[in-house]
A = this chain, B = another copy of it.
Amino acid sequence: MPRPITATIDLQNLSSNLKHVRERISPDTELMAVVKANAYGHRLELVYPALGEADSIALLDLAEAGLLRVMGWFRSILLLEGAFEFSDYAAIANLKLDFTLHNDEQFLQLKRFLSMSPPLQDSRVFVKINTGMNRLGYTPERGVAVMLELMTLRHQEFIGPVVLMTHFANSDVIPPQGPTAAEQATVLKQMAVDIRQKASDVGLKSCDFTTSLANSAGALYHESDAGNIQRIGIAAYGSSTSAVTAQQEGLKPVMRLTTRLISIQKLQKGECIGYGSRFLADKPMRIGIAACGYADGYPRHAPDGTPVLVNGVRAHIAGRVSMDMITIDLTGVPEAEVGSEVVLFGDEHLGVDEVATACGTIGYELLCAVAPRVRFGVAEN
């Protein structure tokens, strides 16, 4: 058999999380499920059956968009970073994808494509504005001009509806520096006013567009600034989006990562464990060796004390994570033996966020990192 490390995907919990978000947002809002990075590491083909609650889907890779069409998703799909090169527009047309414009290189390629190909009336165009994240997107000033050009292209039926989009840098935290979600939203709102004013000034016949601002934390905690289309990623997978824990928010874990003990060592006081002999036994103790290492995606940063569950009982990592194994202090679990189940995260008693916090990172990273050599399966509910 393969190594006994397994990720089990709970589709009922994924569906429940999407319904939970749906109940929290305005009824007329479009709920866009974000499934980039292979559904945040959950495997797109596995989670697909649970995405029915979403109005639309967002991702990065054309191949993943193609997979969704093959699996039968006929509602909207947004390419969050748009085209990476000119030839992508042919695929966008073929797969009827929505796409983002975040810089003028992309816009020039779009105009070149529209000049020589049938129109992209089935594609919505999301214009990404940099309102303080300083990652992707137009400046507000340039964004207004781009929006006006797109309004014209829309009026001429070259493209589908236009969406004014931005991304929050700090919807999950109150930062010591940098803009708040409300400040970023204010920039976008002012832009919307400017766009309509300028459209009127130059005599544009129509100037209809919607907005998309919120990610998960934005949708849950900045409702008035969330916009018409809300992009729900991490909340769908049941991980926390903010200081509010997933459990407090009513979100349920979707991925449960488990393995088994493959050996047990008895240490004497003064003996050490693993590479660099980081952990030193201060008393006689039993150590469980579990088949899970950093090559499975488990964080090598995990310090002594990082929690796991052994046979359902809370225990802690002792010694450095190696490529294929972790070592666990079994002091509180005397009945543990070779073959005992070890939960690494994704249990109601051990959320991915708690493990991530212990390792100085966020749940997103642990979920995305689960490696191909880990067996995946769907939970039987």
- Chain A residues proximal to chain B, CB less than 8 Å: 1-4, 36-38, 40-41, 60-63, 81, 84-85, 87-88, 102-103, 105, 130, 132-137, 169-170, 172-173, 175-179, 262-265, 267, 271-277, 280, 287, 289, 291, 293-295, 297, 300-301, 319, 322-325, 327, 338-339, 360-362, 364-365, 368-369, 371-373
Tell me, in angstroms, the Cα distance from A105 to B340 when the chains sit together. Answer: 13
Tell me, in angstroms, the Cα distance from A349 to B358 when the chains sit together. Answer: 34
Q: Given A3-B60, A368-B371, decide whether A322 and B135 contact each other with a Cβ distance below 8 A.
A: yes
Indicate if the CB atoms of B169 and A272 lie closer than 8 Å.
yes
Q: Which B residue sits closest to A168, measured CB to CB?
A: B275
Q: Which B residue sits closest to A337, measured CB to CB?
A: B105
Quick one: which of A88, A134, A324, A338 has the most chain B CB within 10 A? Answer: A134
Tell me, in angstroms, the Cα distance from A289 to B272 when the chains sit together. Answer: 44
Indicate if the CB atoms of B3 and A267 lie closer than 8 Å.
no
Known contacts A1-B88, A37-B371, A323-B364; 18 further A-B pairs (Cβ under 8 A): A1-B84, A37-B323, A40-B323, A81-B324, A103-B264, A132-B272, A134-B265, A134-B267, A134-B274, A134-B287, A135-B265, A135-B289, A135-B319, A136-B263, A176-B277, A177-B272, A177-B277, A300-B365
Dominant secondary structure at the A interface: loop
